[in-house]
Chain A
């Protein structure tokens, strides 16, 4: 039967249901793919599908959201006029600033809803990585099923199966975080352990007591739990956990951080990345661990553009993610400038068989994360990549300050709890490697007391910028 025939009136009437006992993980085929057709679709068919869905999205936004209708009309874009992915560039960008401003002008959600608020079942807001005003979002029942569906691509692709027991080290609040992942695991058929409102000690103990095979957390918190386990005398590396699903920070794809996490847990770690503006993840690392994350392209168009000129950049070049989402109908998202920095590479970098392109190294940073220190660009992620090579370092913080009232200085504060470690030698090596990776920029590296640096459960903030003068150009911070 082809698609045209599918609109015929339904004629199927199921036989009466016989009582049966359904076992978890019963007869489901163990495909490496959640949706094989989507994940292995030839690229020309995939692009055609994206064009088709883009037309529907533009039509939907135009009909249901006057805010989008005006923007599309101003740009001269109609659904019918979209013939190829090149036409996507005719659509105006959405920015976070515009979104926040629209919510201030039309509180609380802005003029961006495609359905009445009463049809929503759930409210979430951004965690506030950037900007002062959080983005507020609503979703319907169907949208929430889709949100979970995207996580299913990721969990299944990394090897999570119905027989798994999954622990969520997550606080279950208005930050969307792992909410969708929780529902995805229920959908897959896993036993889910919701680890909200617990101390780190209690979480570690429950992971071990309940024999969790999968743990979900931020990369930072995975390390925090490992530290706690060490204090408690628990040997995680020989424990039940086989997989960690990481999200919320770029560190899930920093090789040194990832290796540290994998070594401490004796498990493989898979990176994912999502955003509240989409409600879910748009990329995931498969079980082949190709050093990056596959883009769920049947549900998203991910462009990569130069952050300044907004011109597209090619495979292998770093640029800013711009996302168009097909799944969430309540808030249509068209060409949203994410400020995330990525490097897209072709799907065949991975041997898993997926035809979905890859962000090499995951989310490699944020456009607004970059700090200019005495004329040199410093990205926190690059600093972490070096510091994490030194496994003696338990925690660290990047500290920027103004010396002698005029000069930018950068130092890295580190905790080295092992009393037997040669701390002076480690500090010297870290400073040397940081300098070498930053055009000779001098980094101070200082040992601080154990447990004196902040620990994080969600997004870590390891950069403390206390400069009075920023950028090395004499510009003083406003009081």
Chain B
């Protein structure tokens, strides 16, 4: 029987932590201020956050989905 899920005591290194922060910043910006961005700003930021989502997902950080912000 597999064990049930518990948050493992996983340690991220400094570089990974920076990526997490960048991701969070991008998501927050798009969610709260997306309408204030020019098309080139918003669409390129969405591309970036879609790519960074793969890092969050690859680290199993439960990034959920991004459809509500357009990615």
Interchain CB contact under 8 A, A38 and B66: no
A149 at the interface (CB under 8 A from B): yes
Complex interface residues of chain A between 104 and 140 (CB less than 8 A to chain B): 114-116, 119, 140
Interchain CB contact under 8 A, A44 and B3: yes
Closest to A299 in B: B57
B8 at the interface (CB under 8 A from A): yes
B58 at the interface (CB under 8 A from A): yes
CA distance A50 to B60 in the complex (A): 11
Interface centre among A12, A45, A60, A142 (most CB of B within 10 A): A142
B40 at the interface (CB under 8 A from A): no
CA distance A44 to B4 in the complex (A): 10
B7 at the interface (CB under 8 A from A): yes
Given contacts A14-B18, A142-B71, A146-B54, contact A84 B4 (CB under 8 A): yes
CA distance A51 to B60 in the complex (A): 12
Interchain CB contact under 8 A, A51 and B66: no
Interchain CB contact under 8 A, A10 and B25: yes
CB-defined contacts of B54 to chain A, threshold 8 Å: 145-146, 149
CB-defined contacts of A44 to chain B, threshold 8 Å: 2-3
CB-defined contacts of B67 to chain A, threshold 8 Å: 114-116, 119, 140, 142, 329-330
B39 at the interface (CB under 8 A from A): no
Measured between C-beta atoms, what is the minimum distance from A308 to chain B in Å? Answer: 28
Interchain CB contact under 8 A, B46 and A12: no
Complex interface residues of chain B between 11 and 68 (CB less than 8 A to chain A): 11-12, 17-18, 20-22, 24-25, 28, 46-47, 49-51, 53-54, 57-62, 64-67
Interchain CB contact under 8 A, A35 and B65: no
CB-defined contacts of B20 to chain A, threshold 8 Å: 6, 10
Measured between C-beta atoms, what is the minimum distance from A184 to chain B in Å? Answer: 11
Given contacts A141-B46, A142-B53, contact A10 B66 (CB under 8 A): no
A1 at the interface (CB under 8 A from B): yes
Count of residues in B whose CB is under 8 Å from the partner chain: 39
A3 at the interface (CB under 8 A from B): yes
Count of residues in A whose CB is under 8 Å from the partner chain: 43
CB-defined contacts of A115 to chain B, threshold 8 Å: 65, 67
CB-defined contacts of B70 to chain A, threshold 8 Å: 119, 141
CB-defined contacts of A35 to chain B, threshold 8 Å: 58
CA distance A329 to B53 in the complex (A): 13
Measured between C-beta atoms, what is the minimum distance from A336 to chain B in Å? Answer: 19
Interchain CB contact under 8 A, A142 and B5: no
Complex interface residues of chain A between 1 and 42 (CB less than 8 A to chain B): 1-4, 6, 9-12, 14, 35, 37-38
Beyond the given pairs A10-B28, A329-B65, 16 more chain A to chain B contacts, judged by CB atoms under 8 angstroms and listed by A's residue number, are: A1-B12, A2-B9, A10-B21, A10-B22, A12-B22, A12-B25, A38-B58, A52-B5, A55-B5, A83-B4, A84-B1, A119-B70, A141-B47, A146-B53, A149-B54, A149-B58
**Contact residues of B with A, CB < 8 Å?**
1-12, 17-18, 20-22, 24-25, 28, 46-47, 49-51, 53-54, 57-62, 64-67, 70-71
Between A and B, 16 residue pairs with Cβ closer than 8 Å are A2-B10, A3-B7, A3-B8, A3-B10, A9-B24, A48-B5, A52-B5, A60-B65, A83-B4, A115-B67, A119-B70, A142-B66, A146-B53, A146-B54, A149-B54, A330-B67
**Contact residues of A with B, CB < 8 Å?**
1-4, 6, 9-12, 14, 35, 37-38, 44-45, 47-52, 55-56, 60, 83-86, 114-116, 119, 140-142, 144-146, 149, 298, 327, 329-330
